[in-house]
Amino acid sequence: MSRKCQVSRKRYNRANKLCFSNKKHRHPQHPNTQVKRLWVPELNRMVSLRVSTKVLKTITTYGFMSALKRYGRELQEFV
């Protein structure tokens, strides 16, 4: 399973790693994703999602449906 957030679609960033001689080497910077079981009142059941911690904070603050709306996603994509 890829380390990609299912709600915000965040994925890895390719960054340069620099050594002392200023040689550049590409390496991935992965988002902090967690697999969480979230309660969805509209479905009246738990849904297991891989979400980034930023999205998890948004869900905790505003609720699941409001977070989906903020990130431009639909509930049918996760059923």
Residue 74 within a domain = yes
Question: Which domain covers residue 46, as residue numbers?
Answer: 13-78
Residue length, the chain? 79
Q: What pLDDT, in 10s, does the model give residues 19-28? A: 999 999 999 9
Given a cut of 90, whether residue 61 has pLDDT beyond it is yes
Cβ atoms of residues 74 and 7 within 8 Å: no
Structural domains in the chain (count): 1
Residue 3 within a domain = no
Overall pTM > 0.85 = no
Q: How confident is the model at residue 1 (pLDDT cuts 50, 70, 90)?
A: low
* AA letter at 3: R
Residue 40 within a domain = yes
Assign residue 27 the CATH number of its domain: 2.30.170.40
Given a cut of 90, whether residue 55 has pLDDT beyond it is yes
Given a cut of 70, whether residue 45 has pLDDT beyond it is yes
Cβ atoms of residues 4 and 24 within 8 Å: no
Name which of 58, 60, 55, 62 is nearest 31 in CA terms: 55
Residues 6+ away with beta carbon under 8 Å from 11? 2, 3, 4, 5, 31
